[in-house]
Structure 1
Amino acid sequence: MKPILSGLTVLTLAAGLVGCNTNKGALDRNDNDVRPIGYYNKQGDRDGMDRSKGPVTDMMDNNRTDNNAPRNVGYDQNYDGALAEKIRDRVNRMNNVDDAHVILNDNNVIVGIDTSENNKKAVDHRVYREVKKLVPNRDVRVTTDDNIVNRIKNVDNNLQNGKTTREVSSDVKGIMSDIGKAGTDLGNAVKRPFQNNR
């Protein structure tokens, strides 16, 4: 009985498949009746979403990008992330700088440097002069103190993830105070020799 039932099942399925090809144009490869399928890419983005990996990945990453902007994809719109990135990139290209972290706060630029150089003061001074060229009208503070640099890195990461300057203001004030206490406020130290020559 089982072989007969199996045979009838196969015969019924085969007959059904034969009937599926009644449309003579079904195998026509030039048929354009199919609705277009949307593929995600970065071209033509108006809302700044990175659609290169698909909508679910975008939602999970919360990755919003502007095709013409630098890497400051997560900065709050009121924060000058482009300038912070520009300073960071310039400092990272300098000799004896392993990694740089930048915070912009009002008229202050705070730069924390990871370096393996033994003469950290020399690195501080070189970085200060380079950053001052980029932002001559701002107060620049540079430090290589490991504890302060870690705190700068945390605030910098928070800003890159969209936190506002108001949300990190107490951390920034503490960092600026500790830089002054540590004696690494190069802004005043580097200005003094030039002011005495007037």
Structure 2
Amino acid sequence: MKILLSGITVLALTAGLVGCNNNKGALDRNDNDVRPIGYYSNEGDNRGDLDRSKGPVTDMMDNNRTDHNVTYHEDYDGALAEKIRNRVNSMNNVDDAHVILNDNNVIVGIDTSENDKSAVDQRVYREVKKLVPNRDVRVTTDDSIVNRIKNVDNNLRDGKTTNEVSSDIKGIMADIGKAGTNLGDAVKRPFENNR
């Protein structure tokens, strides 16, 4: 009985191994008959806005732009924008600042956890005015406008020209003026700018 059981086991194993190799090229290591596999890569991407040290999925999903290489367009005064941004970011009660320069205007959007946002607006306004006394300075802590300023600032930091984002800049400037009196129009404005 043991011999019969051993014989059946050996026969089953042999049949299984023979069945695994019915493709003659299955063990050929030089066979290049595979489907092309795509890999995410930011090689050659001049935006530099991706955190290259954490992997492709993190790079695609990460919107943190604090550690990317800034590539302002050559016609944009990126050095001044960065100087203002760094100065405002170093102030108390400022979590993050975004700066847009347009003609003679300086637009500053501030993320703050401070309850008295108007006091932060005034402190930032005075500080920025010291840096650029001959320019028109507009400062806001309104969350919806700050998000729009952040998007335009990121586009400019990625090398877009002010002409490419001019309708957004005009809308932001108008909404900063209106935000104190009619915030409802300021919320509608992003949808009107891009028609």
Q: TM-score, normalised by structure 1?
A: 0.58
> Who is 1:83 aligned against?
80
Give the superposition deviation at 1:59.
1.0
Distance 1:130 1:124 in 2: 10
Distance 1:62 1:147 in 2: 25
Across the two proteins, how many residue pairs are aligned to each other? 122
> Who is 1:98 aligned against?
95
Runs of 4+ in structure 1 off by over 3 angstroms are 60-63
> Who is 1:59 aligned against?
44
Contact 1:72 1:81 (C-alpha < 8 Å) held by counterparts? no
Correspondence for 2:128 among 128, 131, 145: 131
> Who is 1:171 aligned against?
168
Distance 1:86 1:72 in 2: 15
> Who is 2:148 aligned against?
151
Distance 2:106 2:69 in 1: 17
Distance 2:139 2:77 in 1: 19
SS where residue 109 of structure 1 aligns? strand
- Going from structure 1 to structure 2, the CA distance change for 1:121 and 1:162 (only over 3 Å counts) comes to same
Identity of aligned residues (%): 80
Q: TM-score, normalised by structure 2?
A: 0.59
Q: Which runs of 5+ in 2 are unaligned?
A: 1-40, 49-67, 182-195
Contact 1:102 1:156 (C-alpha < 8 Å) held by counterparts? yes
Q: Which amino acid aligns with 1:153?
A: K
Give the superposition deviation at 1:146.
0.1
Q: Which runs of 5+ in 1 are unaligned?
A: 1-55, 64-70, 185-198
Give the superposition deviation at 1:73.
3.2
